[in-house]
C-alpha cells in the first residue's frame, strides 16, 4: 500500500544487491526504517523480533530466506540448516512451515546449480500470489460490508472493530482483515474502524498508521473497550486475521481475540475472520488442543516497546516493578462456534469442516 503517496510492499528483492529488503516495522509508526537481510541469522532475527510479522509475511520472508541459503551454498545440508533455523523462530503461524515445505519440494529435486534461481522464483511467485490472494479477500469481504451498509441509516458509517494488525504490513500487500476495509473505502462505502491497541506489542498502532495513511476514519482504543462498545451497539462487525486456522474452523490469532469473539457472541455482533488458504492447517482439527501457542519474552509486557518520549526519541520504558513475574502467551484460539464466517480468497464460508472442505476440496485431503 502507499506510504506518503509511494507504493510499497512489506518486502522486496533488491536486484542490484541480490538481497531481500524489509520494512523493519518495530519502528513504525514513528520511523520508516528498511533493512537489507545479509545472513541466515538476519532472516531469523527479523522474524523472531517482529521486524517482519504476520503469518503470510513470515512465510514470504522464509521463502526468500531459503533462496538466500541456496545463493550461499546450494546443498541439501544448507537447505536443512535454513529450514531448521527458520522453523525454530516462531511456532504458531502455519505459513512459516507452509512456505518452507513448499520450498523444499521445489529445491531438493534440482541439481545444485539450479537451486538458487528456482528458490528465488518460488519466493517471488509466493509473494505475488499473496498479494492477489489478499486482494480477493478484500473483494469478498467488501460484499459483507456493503450488505451491512445497506441496512444502516443514511450517512452513518459501518463500524468495524479489529484486533492486532492483519494489515498490508502483516502480509506482502493489502492485508487480510484490512483488505475489505480498503476495498469498501475505495468503493465509496462509509466505514469507521475501532482499532484495538493490542497489548503487549501494540500492533494496533500499525493498523492505525495503515488506515490513517489510506484516509480511513478510525478510533484507537484499549483492548478492554471492545465489549463495552458492542454492548452499546457501536460495533456492526468484528473482523480479524489469523495465524493458523484448523480444518474445522478453530481460529488461532493474537492474544485477546477470543475475548472479542465472546463479547461479539454475547451482543449479537457478527465476528469474521479474514484468511488466505495458506493459513489453514489441514492437519489439525482442535485448535485449543493442537495449535502451539508461542510464549514470548516477558519484557514485551514489563516494558513498552519503542515509544516516542517527550523529546521525540523512540525508546523503551519499563512499566512494572523490577523483577515482576510475567506470562506472555502471544496467541489464543477462538472456537469455530464463535466465528460467523471465514473470508477467504475464494469466497466466504462458515467456520466448519464441511464448509472449508467444500471451499477447498483440492487442499482438504
Positions that interact with ligand LNRAV4D5 (CB under 6 A): 53-56, 164, 166, 170-171, 176, 203, 240-241, 243, 253-254, 330
Residue 19: φ, ψ to 5°:
-150, 155
Cα separation, 29 vs 52, in Å, equals 14
Question: 170 or 348: whose CB is closer to ligand LNRAV4D5?
Answer: 170
| Coil vs helix vs strand at 220 | strand
Question: 116 or 331: whose CB is closer to ligand LNRAV4D5?
Answer: 331
Question: 127 or 166: whose CB is closer to ligand LNRAV4D5?
Answer: 166
Cα separation, 227 vs 225, in Å, equals 6
Give catalytic status of residue 281 as yes or no: no
Closest CA relative to residue 58, chosen from 299, 294, 236, 344? 294
**Which are the contacts of 53, defined by CB distance < 8 A and separation ≥ 6?**
25, 47, 165, 170, 203
DSSP 91-116: SS-THHHHHHHHHHHHHTTS-HHHHH
Q: Do 315 and 304 meet the contact criterion of CB atoms below 8 Å apart?
A: no
Question: 42 or 74: whose CB is closer to ligand LNRAV4D5?
Answer: 42
Question: 97: annotated binding-site residue?
Answer: no
Question: 135: annotated binding-site residue?
Answer: no
CA 350 to chain centre: 21
Task: Tell me the closest approach of the beta carbon of residue 201 to ligand LNRAV4D5, in angstroms.
Answer: 7
Question: 55: annotated binding-site residue?
Answer: yes
Task: Tell me the closest approach of the beta carbon of residue 133 to ligand LNRAV4D5, in angstroms.
Answer: 11
Task: State how far the alpha carbon of 174 is from the alpha carbons of 7, 28, 138, 214, 274, in Å.
Answer: 11, 17, 8, 11, 12
Question: 54 or 226: whose CB is closer to ligand LNRAV4D5?
Answer: 54
Question: 253: annotated binding-site residue?
Answer: yes
Closest CA relative to residue 257, chosen from 227, 299, 297, 215? 227
Question: 77: annotated binding-site residue?
Answer: no
Cα separation, 63 vs 194, in Å, equals 33
Please name the residue that has the C-alpha cell 489478499: 134
Cell of 169: 504490513
Question: 254: annotated binding-site residue?
Answer: yes
Cell of 346: 475464494
Instruction: Tell whether omega for the bond before 73 is within 30 degrees of 0, i.e. cis.
Output: no
Question: 74 or 241: whose CB is closer to ligand LNRAV4D5?
Answer: 241
Question: 152: annotated binding-site residue?
Answer: no
Q: Are strands 341-344 and 347-349 parallel, antiparallel or unpaired?
A: antiparallel
Among residues 42, 130, 243, 250, the one annotated as catalytic is 243
Question: 149 or 330: whose CB is closer to ligand LNRAV4D5?
Answer: 330
Cell of 229: 462498545
Q: Are strands 158-162 and 11-14 parallel, antiparallel or unpaired?
A: unpaired
Q: Do 144 and 343 meet the contact criterion of CB atoms below 8 Å apart?
A: yes
Task: Tell me the closest approach of the beta carbon of residue 10 to ligand LNRAV4D5, in angstroms.
Answer: 11
Cell of 108: 531438493
The binding site for substrate comprises 53-55, 90, 203, 253-254
Active site residues: 243
Amino acid at each position: 500500500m502507499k506510504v506518503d503517496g509511494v507504493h510499497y510492499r512489506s518486502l522486496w528483492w533488491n536486484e542490484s544487491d541480490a538481497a531481500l529488503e524489509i520494512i523493519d516495522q518495530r519502528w513504525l509508526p514513528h520511523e520508516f526504517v528498511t533493512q537489507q537481510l545479509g545472513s541466515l541469522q538476519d532472516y531469523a532475527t527479523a522474524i523472531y523480533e517482529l521486524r517482519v510479522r504476520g503469518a503470510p509475511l513470515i512465510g514470504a520472508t522464509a521463502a526468500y530466506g531459503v533462496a538466500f541459503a541456496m545463493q550461499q551454498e546450494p546443498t541439501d545440508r544448507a537447505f536443512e540448516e535454513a529450514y531448521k533455523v527458520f522453523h525454530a523462530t516462531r511456532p504458531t503461524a502455519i505459513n512459516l512451515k507452509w512456505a518452507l515445505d513448499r520450498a523444499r519440494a521445489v529445491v531438493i529435486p534440482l541439481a545444485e546449480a539450479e537451486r538458487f534461481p528456482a528458490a528465488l522464483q518460488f519466493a517471488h511467485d509466493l509473494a505475488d500470489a499473496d498479494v492477489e490472494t489478499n486482494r480477493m479477500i478484500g473483494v469478498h469481504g467488501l460484499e459483507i460490508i456493503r450488505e451491512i451498509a445497506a441496512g444502516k441509516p443514511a450517512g452513518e458509517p459501518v463500524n468495524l472493530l479489529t484486533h492486532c494488525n492483519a494489515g498490508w504490513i502483516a502480509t506482502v500487500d493489502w492485508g487480510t482483515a484490512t483488505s475489505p476495509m480498503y476495498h469498501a473505502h475505495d468503493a465509496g462505502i462509509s466505514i469507521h474502524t475501532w482499532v484495538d491497541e493490542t497489548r503487549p506489542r501494540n500492533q494496533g498502532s500499525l493498523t492505525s498508521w495503515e488506515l490513517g495513511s489510506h484516509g480511513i476514519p478510525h478510533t484507537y482504543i484499549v483492548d478492554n473497550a471492545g465489549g463495552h462498545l458492542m454492548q452499546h451497539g457501536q460495533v456492526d462487525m468484528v473482523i480479524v486475521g489469523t495465524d493458523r486456522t484448523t480444518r474445522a474452523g478453530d481460529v488461532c490469532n493474537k492474544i485477546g481475540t477470543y475475548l472479542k469473539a465472546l463479547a461479539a457472541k454475547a451482543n449479537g455482533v457478527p465476528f469474521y475472520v479474514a484468511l488466505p488458504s495458506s493459513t489453514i492447517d489441514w492437519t489439525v482439527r482442535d485448535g485449543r488442543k493442537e495449535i502451539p501457542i508461542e510464549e514470548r519474552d516477558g519484557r514485551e509486557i514489563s516494558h513498552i516497546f519503542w515509544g516516542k518520549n517527550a523529546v521525540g526519541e523512540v525508546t523503551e520504558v519499563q512499566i512494572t516493578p523490577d523483577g515482576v513475574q510475567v506470562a506472555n502467551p502471544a496467541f489464543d484460539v477462538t472456537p469455530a462456534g464463535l466465528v460467523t464466517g471465514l473470508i477467504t480468497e475464494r469466497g466466504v464460508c462458515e467456520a466448519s469442516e464441511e464448509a472449508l472442505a467444500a471451499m477447498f476440496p483440492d487442499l482438504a485431503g
